Amino acid sequence: MWGQMTGIRPVKIASALLEKGASREEIIEYYMKNYEVSYEKAELCFNVAKVEEPIAGSIRKNGVSIYIGIPFCPTRCLYCSFVTNGAGRTGKYIPDYLDCLAREIEYVGEILKNNGNVVESVYIGGGTPTTLSAEQLRFLFQKIRGGFDLSNVREYTVEAGRPDTITRDKLIAISDFGIDRISINPQSMNEKTLKIIGRNHTSQDIIDAYHLARECGIKNINMDIIAGLPDETFEEFKYTVEKVEELSPDDTTVHTMSIKRSSRLNEMLDKYTLTDGSEIRKMVDFAAEYLKGAGKHPYYLYRQKNMLGNFENVGYSKPGFESLYNIFIMEEIQSIISLGGGGVTKTVDRETGRIERIFNVKEPKDYIERIDEMLSRKDVLKNINKND
């Protein structure tokens, strides 16, 4: 397992050693000797680093990525601690939120233009961005197109994680604006589990949403699943993996259940049966082998606090479908400029490795009321990754 390693980005060590010319054997031995990491996990870190290596090498010196947060969801999932708000309660804030977000997009876009920065990826996350209506999505996409030069964008993602928010008109809006990647996140394909975690959709809704996205021209689809969901057995997890891979998504992320401090699950732990470490191992090992058999390889990895069995989250993709944004943010190799409620900008000095953070307030109401302050906080970007 992970031995004495506690960091959330263990692959960074392998990447640094590769850059120094270390061999596969030397890197694996380094993990095992210095951190008591198992051979299996050390090899996984090496394999991920090898996939990431050419992608990291392709980043422009003055390149940046844009993250835009939409902190609204239909409902809040049992395990969730993200900055997200049930649209039934906070939907009234969406119009004003989008107006303020448009201001931040314009403000930051002007700074990046003056710097000579190049936008290489755009990621619209949340929450669930497709909680917005098709008209609201088009408004947002238009503001992004107007605020940033997208001519050099290599990847443009919208999280459409909740199948019950996906409609044909929203997918057409996504496709019309040249967005080439979405996430449809089932987490589980078992009806019982979907009800437990607070999802308002069925497994058939997931399947229908996937096929609809393909019909609407979406070429790159990611799907997330979770090992160790409350009251779920190995056989049920196995069923999820098999049903998801029948659809053949381009990228499958296997998360391990993490007990988030501010989640509803953490408040009601006595009501659920949590999966023990041996069962989690069976789940993640099965997923790794099955996804390998489906032609996918691990391309990014991260860990979180309070993960069941002390495991990890791993993204597996078909060759050529690795998410650039996921690699950039997890390995901290490019500045990520975050806009919207809860956004945390990370500026990366690639020569020194120094990282600076700029925080936006979390709640939509606060973001709206303090938008001028959020804009002024972004003034420090005026000297970031300038085109020399």
- Residues 37-91: pLDDT tens digits? 999 999 999 999 999 999 999 999 999 999 999 999 887 776 676 544 555 566 7
Shared domain for 116 and 25, answered yes or no, is: no
CATH number, residue 193: 3.80.30.20
Question: How confident is the model at residue 385, as a pLDDT?
Answer: 66
Q: Which residue has the tokens 């996504």?
A: 174
| pTM summary value | 0.94
Q: Is the pLDDT of residue 286 over 50?
A: yes
Q: Does residue 318 lie within any of the structural domains?
A: yes
Q: For residue 2, tell me if it sits in a domain.
A: no
Domain match, 50 and 89 both: no
Q: Which of 186, 180, 218, 208 is nearest to 199 (CA)?
A: 186
Residues 191-219: tens digit of each pLDDT: 999 999 888 899 999 999 999 999 999 99
Do 50 and 178 belong together in one domain?
Answer: no
Closest CA to 261 of 127, 385, 82: 82
Answer whether residue 332 is part of any domain.
Answer: yes
In this structure, is residue 4 part of a structural domain? no
List strand residue ranges (DSSP E) for 218-360, in order: 220-227, 251-256, 297-302, 313-317, 335-339, 344-348, 355-359
Q: How far is CA 114 from CA 73, 89, 110, 150, in A?
A: 35, 39, 6, 15
In a domain, 3, yes or no: no
Closest to 256 in 3D by CA, of 298, 308, 305: 308
Q: What is the pLDDT of residue 91?
A: 77
Neighbours of 298 (CB within 10 A): 22
Could you tell me if 15 and 131 lie in one domain?
Answer: no
* 1 assigned to some structural domain: no
pLDDT above 70: residue 386: no
pLDDT digits (tens, 9 = 90+) for 131-176: 999 999 999 999 999 999 999 999 999 999 899 999 999 999 999 9
Once rounded to an integer, what is the mean pLDDT over residues 25-46?
98
- If you average pLDDT over every residue of the chain, what do you get? 93
- On whether both 194 and 140 belong to a single domain, the answer is yes
Domain assignment of residue 108, given as a range = 63-383
Do 49 and 150 lie in one domain? The reply is: no
Do 25 and 112 have their domain in common? no
Residues 198 and 82 in one domain: yes
Residue 267 reports pLDDT greater than 50: yes
306 conformational bin, left if phi > 0, alpha if psi -120 to 50, beta if neither:
left
Residue in 179, 178, 200 with CA at minimum distance from that of residue 77: 200
Query: Is there a single domain that holds both residue 15 and residue 98?
Result: no
* Percent of the chain clearing pLDDT 90 (strictly above): 82
Tell me what the mean pLDDT of segment 228-238 comes to: 95
Q: Are residues 147 and 215 in the same domain?
A: yes
Question: How do 355-359 and 297-302 pair as beta strands?
Answer: unpaired
pLDDT of residue 363: 92
Whether 203 and 274 map to the same domain: the answer is yes
Q: With H, G, I as helix, E, B as strand and everything else as coil, classify residue 142.
A: helix
The yes-or-no verdict on residue 247 having pLDDT over 50 is yes
**Would 5 be classed as within a structural domain?**
no
Residue 135 lies in a domain: yes
Average pLDDT over residues 116-142: 96
**Residues 95, 35: one domain?**
no
pLDDT in tens, 299-345: 999 999 889 999 999 999 999 999 999 999 999 999 999 999 999 99
Number of domains the chain is built from:
2
Question: How would residue 388 be classed by pLDDT, with cut points 50, 70 and 90?
Answer: very low
For strands 155-159 and 181-183, give the pairing. Answer: parallel
